[in-house]
Chain A
Amino acid sequence: MKRLISSVLAGFGFFQVAGLFSQDMPLTQVLIKGEDWEAVSEGHGFTDGLCTNAYGDLYFSDVKDGTAIYRIDKDGKRSDFVKDIAGVSGLQWGVDGRLYVCVARGRRIVSFSKNGDDMRVLAEEIRPNDLVVTHDGNLYFTMTPTSEIRRIDPDGKMTVVDSGTINRPNGITLSPDHGTLAVSDHGGKHVWAFQIAKDGTLKHPGNYMTMRTPEADPEVAKGDGMATDVHGRYYVTTAEGLQMFDPTGRMSGVIAKPQDANLVSVCFAGPNHEFLYVACGDKVFRRKTKTRGALFFQKPHPAEKFVEPKKQAAEALFEDDPTSIAKAGFEVLKAE
């Protein structure tokens, strides 16, 4: 509490002199004119499970027809990273250099070494869909059919950390500082935010982001795979397209699907991790952006300040403005 008061007060002191933190994050800050989706892998059944490593290689699965965990390297070449594995719905690299895998069909979570061998089983008899691994080695995963979020701690102990808050918890990601866990609802219209407590439990769920829904089904956005960029923006695949939210939970735009198919997974990969990759039906697509992905196997960091290349006229608007609490907060954090 003491910390809160001091940071808010510090904020007040600063906000007269502070420059404007770009509080509005339109799609133009991310998309590049002339850059469109390009298919990078074709001929699959149902692509899913996109993730990346430090080099920007892309890993993904084909949850319907796949027989391997696939890798697309920097040169765009596809190979089988792990052979003879089927029904994979979620992938993430951990800080320990191992690849963590939700095997939906096998009802278990396993991991592989950086060479794709040395398989270890972390949990069995479960219904995992998607996962995220924090820098301190906690693995959180969604159990969509049972409305649960579970955690496997660094010692391998599995616990239920949320049950019943979200109708069909599906996509799962972190804020760049790993303080907030965000989980999308496949059977509702919200992305929920949880505070990750010091002991790794989840606290204070909030229906922080409201997704755009189809006219025909206004309560169900089909929120699926999620990703985060270094500026703290959240990305979630939905029936309506790839929806983008700013760090304060405000919907900032919908990026069109590459084709009329199920859009279920998203991650930043490729050179500098500045390409958005999506799994959409039988193909994997990518497009270049102006931003970069947050990588959770790297050290947590505060959301980076976005600097518009061209100075906007709006620069000094919040000077001496009592509504600029949000901005004051950003200034405080920058100072830390």
Chain B
Amino acid sequence: MKLLRFLALICLPVFAADEDYKPGPDAEPKEGVPKGKLTQHTWTSTIFPGTERDFWVYVPSKYDGSKPACVMVFQDGGGFVREKGAFRAPIVFDNLIHAGEMPVTIGVFLNPGVVPPVKEGSQPRKNRSFEYDTLSDQYARFLTEEILPKVEKTHKVTLSKNPDCRAICGNSSGGICAFTVGWERPDAFRKIVSHIGSFTNIRGGHVYPALVRKTEPKPLRVFLQEGENDLDNLHGNWPLANKQMAAALEFAGYDYKFVMGTGRHSGRHGGAIFPDTLRWLWRDWKELKP
């Protein structure tokens, strides 16, 4: 019997299951913390011809127009603004901005584009993989030439031009997209957050660790979250790819942080630690001039 109990003990999982990663208190509305304003919009792109998408803009209550605001862009934005989702970014922003743990930051949450169906019974052409997985400056140009000017105009806000005040975040293909934006345009975005990032061969992204090692370092700050039980499929092995990315960033001397958990291909772990991720990302924000 004793032996049985012992066996049962050592057989218990010693790691967290994916479902054990849950949003913490910083992802709950707190009393006395003013709420920012979240609005929903649509956009028809010319840089991604014919694509339409929904996006959301979060303006913190503290933004008063006296100086430019920092900005943080999210891929698959609809998931990040979901009130009962894994991230609940607007609530986290409310709390952290109020506590002075991150700057006054305007959040831009973009869904991937679709070329909508026009013939009866036909389906949209989904542009997510093309937009997120392609190694080029196209998505960065889409942000800097289409979206950010649109946000400034419609919300009458001024976004910081200082790339250290501009962050970008995404999950999976949205994660490699965040890195690509910084890699292609360090003059525009320097703070990168990737959860379960697809640094795999979906459209050639597996080359990044090699590129990072043999390219003069770029002034990026990179946060990578990954899970040991993430995907292993025709495009690659996600845990290995993220370990390769982290090792390359270490080798090349980047300002980076790598958090390896035990989760799967979901946003749960990234969501659970998201407030701390933002604290790390913006840790020296008071020294920045937006």
Contacts and interface: CB of A to CB of B under 8 A. Distances in A.
Interface of A: 1, 3-5, 7-9, 12, 24-27, 175, 177-180, 193, 195-198, 203-206, 208, 210, 247-253, 300, 302-303, 314, 317-326, 329, 333, 336
Interface in B117-148: 117-119, 121-130, 133-134
A322 B124 contact: no
B85 A249 contact: no
B114 A4 contact: yes
A321 B171 contact: yes
Given A27-B234, A206-B48, A322 B80 contact: yes
Interface stretch (B3-11, B96-104, B263-271): B263-271
Interface stretch (B30-38, B49-57, B279-287): B49-57
Contact of A321 (B49, B52, B119, B267): B267
Given A249-B129, A250-B235, A320 B115 contact: no
Given A208-B125, A314-B231, A329-B124, A250 B266 contact: no
Nearest to A197: B118
- Most chain B beta-carbon neighbours within 10 Å: one of A195, A205, A314: A195
| Interface size band for B | 35 or more
A25 B123 CA distance: 19
A198 B122 CA distance: 11
Contacts, number: 157
B183 interface: no
A193 B234 CA distance: 23
Given A26-B233, A177-B123, A323-B79, 6 more contacts: A8-B114, A27-B234, A178-B122, A204-B115, A206-B48, A251-B203
B272 interface: no
A329 B49 contact: no
B267 A249 contact: no
Nearest to B52: A4
A250 B133 contact: yes
B90 to A, nearest CB: 13
B116 interface: yes
Contacts of B67: none
Contacts of B121: 177, 300, 302, 336
Contacts of A321: 79, 86, 171-172, 265-267
